[in-house]
Amino acid sequence: MARLARVSPVGVPQHIVHRGNNQQVCFDGAEDMNAYLDWLKEYSKKYSIDVHAWVLMSNHVHLLCTPQKEGAISRMMQSIGRMYVRYYNDTYQRSGTLWEGRFKSCLVQSERYLLELYRYIELNPVRADMVKDPAEYSWSSYACNALGIKTKMHTPHSEYLSLGKTKEERLENYRALLQVPVTTELLQDIRESVNKGLALGGDRFKAEIETLTNKRVTPRKAGRPQKKTDSAS
């Protein structure tokens, strides 16, 4: 299947995934992860991107962001990738490729899927059997969204803010939300959307995005093979 052209409308959230080449390890320890997060903070601010949720795993990264300027996501990811590869190669005396080509991303319908993406991202270490509770994992946004820890990099989305009228109410409701496991069907939808660059949302949302960008964000319909006619005898 041909890769869809990347679309990045201002104000529309995106789920971003960047993996190590051939699933190789990208983070060997706390210093590596801190370095990546420092550049995420720097370049998200430089390019006017709101970062809502994130998780750093040993061989890949998940981000949930909303760009406030055209082309901001690509510029941010290129800058982070370039700086981190230079740091990683210098630190571990290596050379060559670290990332699996360009990052993958998909547009997300806020009112239907945004909080599902928060949950999917921050429960990643739990699904990987690395921890029993997301609070035990230091390299995600769980501390911000569930425990109220402030960081300059984090910007809550309006859908998150709608979880409660007070900070305490939002935190309590968010923690309750993450007690519910992500269903197999939702996992498949999220993974297919980001891997293929499709929009994650309802039919109306997808149609609006295609009208706005004049680019396809839905899979092509499989064509029915032509029926062969019998030759004359």
pLDDT digits (tens, 9 = 90+) for 201-213: 999 998 988 888 7
For position 224, what pLDDT does the model report? 52
Q: At what angle do helices 110-122 and 167-177 cross, to 10 degrees?
A: 70
Residue 141, helix vs strand vs coil? coil
The Cα–Cα gap between 106 and 233 comes to: 54
Residues 6+ apart with CB under 8 A from 72: 8, 47, 48, 49
For position 161, what pLDDT does the model report? 97
Give the closest residue to 18 by CA, choosing from 48, 2, 1, 39: 39
For position 8, what pLDDT does the model report? 86
Domain spans in the chain, listed from the N-terminal domain onward: 14-201
Arithmetic mean of pLDDT over the chain: 91
For residue 191 the two structure tokens come to 């993974």
Residues for the chain: how many in total?
A: 233
Say whether pLDDT at 3 is over 80.
Answer: no
Whether the CB-CB separation of 115 and 158 falls below 8 Å is answered with no
Q: Which CATH class is domain 14-201?
A: alpha beta
pTM above 0.85, yes or no: yes
DSSP for 16-41, please give it: EEEEBGGG-----SHHHHHHHHHHHH
Whether the CB-CB separation of 218 and 199 falls below 8 Å is answered with yes
